[in-house]
Each structure stands twice: as structure tokens, then as C-alpha cells.
């Protein structure tokens, strides 16, 4: 993986590196560059009046230019000065991975760029949204702290099976929308499937609710007062359509608070309302209020039940600090957790580091262990001294019987007592039997081999994913870099060549004959030529070649007549071209 001489990227864990692809800058076409330039010129013209104040200087802090698609080396050269980094990925990545990148102060940037057809907005991740939207605001210290902290909280959020289904449905639809060869029937099927999934989500999970807070702040947030808000959300900063329409009075502006989690969102449509925070400190307050309701802070039986419902790898943390990572099974019927059980590969860790010999290769079939205190003990087992262990017969190479307050009995010969961080975290037995209710409930039999018993009076935290992700996923070698997807799917290679000629025309001495040569190849009948004509208009107007500018505008009016939807895009292009010349004169 390319780290661009940025220590932030060099320190990324291996399991995140699998999502990173090479940017392959040479694959961006002249049309791609024109798309970027148009959007950024529009953004600069409009957002300097409605964006939160650090946005414009933030472009430079993030290593971004209006004139060309950002190069990841240039971005990292700039971002590392403020302790951040950026990597390119292949479109959508799982929400948990996205959050974890954020927690590591790394901006995830889709390598692709939107099609001309979706220049105003695309639901699919693209380099315009990810870089021009997210990166400029990173230069604001309070916001950068919030973004990283949100990533840390989001990494721990528990998802549901329905969340995974929704993620795949949104991902599929977004890819289809950005693929030039998608048929109307394919698009309709994908939209219908997404609606069915959305209508049958059931009770929202932690991740679903947290995603709403992310959407209404990081993506679509406003800051200031209800009467005079400014834009800071990346989705608005990168959408030349919605960044203007969202400021209209017809779009309600509501105060941002914890009740915002009640508002779901649709990434394929303009937002029906937006939320305003007075400052970034308030964002932290609301996030912490929500985090206080999450399983990683609450622990206990209810949190474990959330993990069971999730059906994916989660981690339960004993009070001793021992972390058990795996797919959890049915909880016991007690009011409090008295026994935990996983199925399939499981690993034990402490402080995020896998314990030696306690990985998924060893616990291939799952892991089970009691939770709680021993009978007639006023002290937690993890805090026993050597003397107290001896009093209970807990001595290596000796048989002992442990009777828990829950009624669970562990009887076997002790092989090893493992300490970590000044606590007893694990006791291993051979010839061991674990049962309850006079063996009516059998948890472990002697013939099954070594029994490793976790030690801890209660489950104090439950969170998504493995405690030691690299250890759990057995990443012993460098991951192969995925193949980057193709960028803009251009049917008309001639259009790309024309944009290349226009780009060259802009950087060299103005030549009216060359201008006319390009202009003559642009037909009003081919409405995709509108962007090239806007660029020609801009060049002619800048050089006060009014007759040429009139020619370009007349042809643009013909395009509008054929395709009225382009009227605003074309009018905005002409407006910015005139405004820029007037401002520079």
C-alpha cells in the first residue's frame, strides 16, 4: 500500500489496508478533469458566502486545487501537517471500516469520479464528494477532533443483519446509477429492492441510529443559528445542486440534538430538513449522550443480547479486562449474564492485543465461560491474591471445584493461571467438567480437551468487531491490493479528446482559430457537449472575444431547448465565467 511518506498511513492496521487501492491518476480523462473543475468553480463561487468560514482556506490546507483532480501525494503532503492522511478506495466500503479509518484520522476517498450525467449529485462515493466535501473542513481543529471521535464511537457500534442487507442494497443501487450501461429495468429493480429493504428494517440498531447522527452532521450538517446557518456537511459542500437549494426557506432548519436520531434519511433524494448546531462542541455533547446508550458503555445482559441479534463478530469485555471476540449465541435465562457462549472462530485478547495461544486457530469451534463471583466470596475472582487462590484450592496442577453464585460448577485440574494488568484473566483446566443444576445443563465435558475459563465478575462492555482485528483475521502476510475499478465510462472518446484540446487551449496563448476549430466539432444535438461549450464560453469571455462567446451561448441555448434539465447547469457556468472576469478586472 502506498503511504505517501505520511506516518498516519504507515500506522494503519493491516485489516484496513485491504480496502485501499492505487489512485492511478493517469486514468482520469480530460472530461473527468473538466467535471472536477466545473464543480469546484461552482462551489468556490457559491460556498464562499454560505459555507462555514474555514472551507475556502481549507481547500489549500487539504492540498486541493480548483483546476485539477487532487493527487493523493499532494493531499497527504498537506494533510500530514495537521495529523491526517488520505487514501483511495474502490467505491463503497463497509460502514464499520469507514468509521475505523476516520478513527485513525484517515479520509477515505473513492478513486472514481461521477459521470457527466450526475454532475450535480451522485449517491455513489466519488472523489468530488470525498475530497472537496470532507477534506477542507479538517483544518478546523474542533471539527477534526469531532470527526475522529465519531470514528472511535462508530467503530464500536453494533449492527443488525438488516443493516448489512441495507448496505448491500444501497451499494448495488449506487453502483448501477453510476454505470453508463445500466438499463432502466435494472435501475427500477434495484430501487424497488432498496425500498423493500428500507420498509422492513424493524427496530434500528446502534449503527443505524449512529449513522443518522453522522448523516445529519458530517454529511449534511449546518452550523450557526437557525436564522443564519452555514454549511459544513460534506454532502452539501460537494453537491452544487443541493448546496444552493438547501438554504431556501422551504427546507426546514431544526436545532440539532439527540432527537435527531429519530430522523431517517434517503441518500438518493434531497433532504427534507436539515439540522443546525451552534458549534462543534455541541456535536460532541450530543454524540456522548448517544454513546451513553450504547452497549460498549453499558455492558450487561441487554448489551450481550444486542450482540447475539447482530449475528456477526462482536467482543464482550469482562471486568478483569479479558476480551472475548466471536459470534455470540443465545444468552442464559438469568437476569444477569452468568455464562457466555460463542460459535465458530473465537479469540481472547487483553487491551486489544490477542493473548498468546488464544486465537481463532485454537478456539475454532467456539468458546464458553461463566461470568460472576464464586459462592460465599465478597471479592471478585480476578482480584484474588496468591493466598486467596490457595484458600479456594485454586493452585496449578491441583484439582479444584469452583462453585459460582449462579449455580455453575467448574471442576477440573488447573493447568495455568494467566494474569494481565494485575488481574487474573484466565484459568485453564484439564479433565474438566462444567455444569449447572446437578448436571441438567452441561457446558463442557472432560473428553472435549482443555477448558479455558475466562475470569470476571461481569460483562462491562460489548462492541462490534474483534478486539484485535489483525490477530483475529490472521493477517500474517501483506494483503494483495485490489484492482482499481475503471473511472468514467466514456462512450464518446472524441468528447474526451475535445476536452483535452480545450484544456490545452486554456493554458496557452489564446488562438481564436483553434477555438473555432474545437467549437465546430461541438453539436447542439449532442447535449453531452454542454460542458465543453461552457468552457469555450469561459475562455472567449475572459479574452473579451464577445463574438465567440455569443456563438457558444447560442449553441448552449439550443441544447437547453432540447434538454431543459440542463438550463441551470449552463446558466450557472455562464454566470461564474462572467463573475470571475468582473472580479479580476
What's the whole-number average pLDDT of the chain?
Answer: 90
Asked whether residue 279 falls in the same domain as residue 215, the answer is yes
pLDDT of residue 482: 40
For residue 539, pLDDT beyond 80: yes
Same domain flag for 255 and 375: no
178 falls in which pLDDT band (50, 70, 90)? Answer: low
Same domain, 331 and 416: yes
Residues 12, 85 share a domain = yes
The yes-or-no verdict on residue 466 having pLDDT over 50 is yes
Considering the domain architecture, whether residues 501 and 467 belong to the same structural domain is answered as no
Q: What is the pLDDT of residues 229-239, one digit of tens each?
A: 999 998 888 87
The full DSSP string for 303-368 is: HHHHHHHH-S-EEEEETTSEEEEEEE-PPPSSSS--EEEEEEEEEEEETTEEPTT-STTTBSS--E
The answer to whether position 294 is within a domain reads: no
In a domain, 178, yes or no: no
- The whole-number pLDDT of residue 414 equals 98
**CATH code, domain carrying 210:** 1.10.800.10
What's the rounded mean pLDDT across residues 415-420?
A: 97
In the structure, what pLDDT confidence band is assigned to residue 123 with cuts at 50, 70 and 90?
Answer: low
Average pLDDT of the residues in 23-51 = 90
What's the pLDDT at 484? Answer: 40
**242 located within any domain:** yes
Give pLDDT, residue 489.
Answer: 46
Residue 476's pLDDT is: 42
Residue 333 lies in a domain: yes
pLDDT for the residue 475: 45
Domain tally, the chain:
3
The reported pLDDT for the residue numbered 243 is 79
Exposed e or buried b for every residue in 189-228, given b needs 16+ CB within 10 A? ebeeebeebeeeeeebbbbbbbbbbbbbbbbbbbbbeeee
Residue 502 lies in a domain: yes
Mean of pLDDT values over 340-352: 97
Residue 582 pLDDT greater than 60, yes or no: no
Does any domain span residue 166?
A: no
Per-residue pLDDT of 163-173, as tens digits, reads: 778 778 877 87
Same domain for 214 and 327, yes or no, is no
How far are the Cα atoms of 20, 21, 23, 90, 290 from residue 483, in angstroms, in the given order?
A: 10, 7, 10, 8, 38
The predicted model gives 275-289 an average pLDDT of 98
Q: Are residues 463 and 529 in the same domain?
A: no
User: What region, left, alpha or beta, does residue 407 occupy, with left being phi > 0 and alpha being psi -120 to 50 degrees?
Assistant: left
Question: Average pLDDT for residues 129-151, to the nearest whole number?
Answer: 91
Q: Are residues 522 and 431 in the same domain?
A: no
What's the whole-number mean pLDDT along residues 359-379? 95
Instruction: Compute the residue count for the chain.
Output: 585
- Domain assignment present for residue 229? The answer is yes
Same domain, 257 and 113: yes
Q: Is residue 563 located within the same domain as residue 500?
A: yes
pLDDT at 17 over 80: yes
Q: Lowest mean pLDDT: which of 295-309, 472-486, 553-567? A: 472-486
322 touches 350 (CB < 8 A): yes
Q: Is residue 135 part of a domain?
A: yes
Domain range for residue 132?
A: 7-159+205-287
The percentage of the chain sitting over the pLDDT mark of 70, rounded to a whole number, equals 95
Amino acid at each position: 500500500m502506498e503511504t505517501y511518506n505520511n506516518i498516519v498511513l504507515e500506522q494503519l492496521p493491516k485489516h484496513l489496508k485491504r480496502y485501499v487501492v492505487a489512485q492511478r491518476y493517469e486514468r482520469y480523462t480530460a472530461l473527468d478533469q473538466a467535471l472536477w473543475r466545473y464543480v469546484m468553480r461552482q462551489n468556490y463561487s457559491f460556498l464562499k458566502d454560505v459555507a462555514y468560514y474555514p472551507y475556502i482556506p481549507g481547500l489549500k490546507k487539504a492540498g486541493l486545487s480548483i483546476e485539477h483532480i487532487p493527487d493523493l501525494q499532494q493531499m497527504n503532503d498537506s494533510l500530514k501537517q495537521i495529523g491526517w492522511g488520505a487514501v483511495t478506495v474502490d467505491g463503497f466500503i463497509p460502514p464499520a471500516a469507514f468509521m475505523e479509518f476516520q478513527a485513525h484520522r484517515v479520509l477515505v476517498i473513492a478513486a472514481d469520479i461521477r459521470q457527466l450525467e450526475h454532475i450535480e449529485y451522485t449517491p455513489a462515493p466519488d472523489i468530488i464528494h470525498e475530497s472537496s466535501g470532507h477534506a477542507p473542513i479538517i483544518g478546523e481543529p474542533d471539527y477534526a477532533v469531532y470527526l475522529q471521535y465519531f470514528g472511535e464511537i462508530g467503530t464500536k457500534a453494533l449492527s443488525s443483519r438488516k443493516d448489512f442487507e441495507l448496505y448491500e442494497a444501497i451499494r448495488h443501487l449506487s453502483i448501477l446509477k453510476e454505470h453508463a450501461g445500466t438499463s432502466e429495468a435494472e435501475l427500477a429493480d434495484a430501487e424497488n429492492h432498496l425500498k423493500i429493504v428500507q420498509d422492513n428494517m424493524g427496530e434500528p440498531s446502534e449503527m443505524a441510529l449512529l449513522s443518522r447522527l453522522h448523516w445529519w452532521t458530517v454529511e449534511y450538517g449546518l452550523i450557526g443559528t437557525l436564522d443564519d446557518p452555514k454549511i459544513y456537511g460534506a454532502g452539501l459542500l460537494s453537491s452544487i445542486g443541493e448546496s444552493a437549494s438547501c438554504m431556501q426557506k422551504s427546507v426546514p432548519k431544526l436545532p440539532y440534538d439527540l432527537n435527531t436520531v429519530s430522523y431517517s434519511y434517503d441518500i438518493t433524494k434531497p433532504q427534507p430538513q436539515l439540522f443546525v448546531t451552534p458549534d462543534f462542541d455541541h456535536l460532541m455533547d450530543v454524540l456522548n449522550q448517544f454513546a451513553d446508550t450504547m452497549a460498549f458503555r453499558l455492558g450487561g445482559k441487554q448489551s450481550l443480547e444486542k450482540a447475539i441479534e447482530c449475528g456477526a463478530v462482536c467482543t464482550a469485555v469482562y471486568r478483569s479486562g479479558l476480551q472475548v471476540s466471536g459470534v455470540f449465541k443465545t444468552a442464559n435465562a438469568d437476569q444477569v449474564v452468568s455464562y457466555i457462549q460463542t460459535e465458530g472462530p473465537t479469540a481472547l485478547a487483553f487491551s486489544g492485543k490477542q493473548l498468546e495461544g488464544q486465537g481463532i486457530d485454537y478456539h475454532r469451534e467456539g468458546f464458553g465461560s461463566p461470568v460472576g463471583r464464586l459462592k460465599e466470596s465478597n471479592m471478585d475472582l480476578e482480584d484474588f491474591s496468591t493466598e486467596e487462590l490457595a484458600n479456594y484450592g485454586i493452585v496449578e496442577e491441583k484439582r479444584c471445584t469452583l462453585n459460582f453464585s449462579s449455580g455453575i460448577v467448574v471442576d477440573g485440574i488447573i493447568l495455568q493461571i494467566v494474569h494481565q494488568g494485575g488481574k487474573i484473566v484466565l484459568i485453564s483446566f484439564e479433565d474438566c467438567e462444567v455444569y449447572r443444576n446437578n448436571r441438567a445443563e452441561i457446558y463442557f465435558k472432560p473428553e472435549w480437551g482443555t477448558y479455558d475459563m475466562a475470569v470476571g465478575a461481569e460483562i462491562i462492555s460489548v462492541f462490534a468487531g474483534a478486539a484485535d482485528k489483525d490477530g483475529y483475521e490472521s493477517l500474517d502476510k501483506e494483503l494483495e491490493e485490489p484492482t482499481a475499478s475503471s473511472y468514467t465510462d466514456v462512450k464518446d472518446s472524441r468528447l474526451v479528446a475535445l476536452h483535452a484540446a480545450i484544456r490545452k487551449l486554456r493554458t496557452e496563448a489564446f488562438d481564436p482559430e483553434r477555438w473555432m476549430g474545437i467549437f465546430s466539432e461541438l453539436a447542439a444535438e449532442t447535449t453531452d457537449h454542454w460542458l465543453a461549450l461552457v468552457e469555450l464560453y469561459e475562455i472567449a469571455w475572459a479574452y473579451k472575444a464577445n463574438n465567440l462567446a455569443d456563438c457558444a451561448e447560442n449553441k448552449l441555448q439550443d441544447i437547453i431547448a432540447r434538454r431543459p434539465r440542463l438550463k441551470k447547469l449552463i446558466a450557472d457556468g455562464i454566470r461564474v465565467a462572467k463573475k470571475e472576469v468582473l472580479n479580476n478586472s
